[in-house]
Amino acid sequence: MINEEYKKMLEGKSVIRQLSEFATARGKEIGYENVFDYSLGNPSVPVPEKFTEVMIELLKTKSSMELHGYSPSLGITSVKNKIAESLNKRFGMNYTGNHIFPTTGAAGAVAHALRCVTKPGDEVLTFAPYFPEYNLYVNMTGAKLKLVPANTEDFQINFEKLEEMLNENVTALLINTPNNPSGAVYNSKTLAQLSELLNSKQKEYGHDIFIVSDEPYREIVFAGVEAPYVSKFYDNTLSCYSYSKSLSLPGERIGYVAANPRCTDAELISAICGQISRGIGHNCPPSIIQLAVSEVLDQTSDMSVYETNMNLLYNELTGLGFSCVKPGGTFYIFPKALEEDAVSFCQKALKYDLVLVPSDSFGIQGYFRMAYCIDTEKVERSLDALRRFVKENY
């Protein structure tokens, strides 16, 4: 029989999807270049040329079996070793290939990591504003996602609320830095304080509390911003990464879980992920993509456009009187709306062909998200619409 629980999930309409559909439909009327579509976080810059070269080289030179044969169930050893080396060099860690489990992007990484360190009924805490897909990742494990209210001053952690919400049932915290949707990057002070708090709570409760650290935007950090590596601060950390943003290949579904070598059962995490993977039929990211990415680990796409766009928008928005925390990274900005009801605010913006996402689905009211992974030229043209929208409505 059709599973009713999954069937019911179809009824929930995604606001972001609805907005994106509006943008597409409107684009057919007036030309998509005239719709200022800030709804979707789809990287807008090309993959590094080297990636394409490596792919073609692999296809031309490797035997079919080497290239397209089954990857070992825990990932290709040479690929995992290279990822470990790269992380060690960049962040002063001590990973070996055994601590790395390749996944289908950060989504796969977070879903695997959560299953690894929770059991049904456990509580997982995350922080507003947050990526709404977290609800699905956590619900599907049988654990419960609880939302720690935002620190709206700078979108670092609201420690007062976090301490109130920590209890014996919490076995994992799911954090996301640089953050979607706020653009905030947790600084060393935040991470040190978080580590100290969790270490003391682990002792108090007599059990592990893991940080599942969702880091797909790790490489998109703006000038002068410190972006410390979460796992350096706290042993029980599973770092979840994706090459979707740094190499602009979200469709190829490639990322990993990296288990801190000092975490509980560090040597088993990858093997446990392998068991989870077997059960859901995931069985490793595609071989050729694993092999190709391992040749360009320390490259990124040219992501300077994101910082250019951020500065344009930040300056315009604050000039227009918006209250806005300046993003430290990502390709999102998260200003306060000019009325309490962000949904109504974003509805009005649509009349100016400005597609903004109200903050309600990110777990906080009264804000909106702009995903500025679009051409700078379009950002520039949107500023006039933004000015007219504000002037005529507020």
Task: Pick out residues in 131-160 that bind its own copies (CB under 8 A).
Answer: 133, 136-137, 139-140
Question: How many beta carbons lie within 10 A of that of residue 38, not counting itself?
Answer: 28
Q: Which residues from 292-351 bind its own copies, rule CB under 8 A?
A: none
Q: Which residues, in sequence order, are bridge partners of residue 367? A: 336
Segment near its own copies (CB under 8 A), from 51-59, 82-90, 155-163, 184-192? 51-59
Using CB under 8 A as the criterion, what x/- string covers residues 165-204 for binding its own copies?
------x---------------------------------
Question: How many beta carbons lie within 10 A of that of residue 164, not counting itself?
Answer: 11
Tell me whether residue 20 or residue 88 sits nearer to its own copies (CB atom): 20
125 is a contact residue toward its own copies (CB under 8 A): no
Q: Which residues from 359-378 bind its own copies, rule CB under 8 A?
A: none
> To which H or E segment does residue 257 belong?
strand 255-259
| Paired sense of beta strands 368-371 and 332-333, if any | antiparallel
Segment near its own copies (CB under 8 A), from 106-114, 303-311, 334-342, 357-365? 106-114
**218-245 in b/e burial notation, b at 16+ Cβ within 10 A?**
bbbbbeebebbbbbbbbbbbbbbbbbbb
118 is a contact residue toward its own copies (CB under 8 A): yes
In the set 21, 33, 56, 188, which binds its own copies (CB under 8 A)? 56
70 is a contact residue toward its own copies (CB under 8 A): yes
Tell me whether residue 75 or residue 183 sits nearer to its own copies (CB atom): 75
Segment near its own copies (CB under 8 A), from 69-77, 318-326, 330-338, 386-394? 69-77
61 is a contact residue toward its own copies (CB under 8 A): no
Closest contact distance (angstroms) between CB of 17 and its own copies is 9
Q: Is 176 helix (H, G, I), strand (E, B) or coil?
A: strand
Asked if 179 contacts 227 with a C-beta cutoff of 8 angstroms, the reply is no
77 is a contact residue toward its own copies (CB under 8 A): no
Closest contact distance (angstroms) between CB of 283 and its own copies is 5
44 is a contact residue toward its own copies (CB under 8 A): yes
For residue 8 the two structure tokens come to: 């019911």
How many Å apart are CA 330 and CA 373, to the nearest integer? 9
In the set 85, 208, 295, 375, which binds its own copies (CB under 8 A)? 208
Asked if 78 contacts 216 with a C-beta cutoff of 8 angstroms, the reply is no
Cross-sheet strand order for the sheet of 357-358:
332-333, 368-371, 357-358
Cα angle vertex 178, ends 88, 240, to 5°?
Answer: 50
Q: Which residues from 229-288 bind its own copies, rule CB under 8 A?
A: 248-254, 264-265, 268-269, 271-272, 275-276, 278-288
The DSSP code for 325 is P
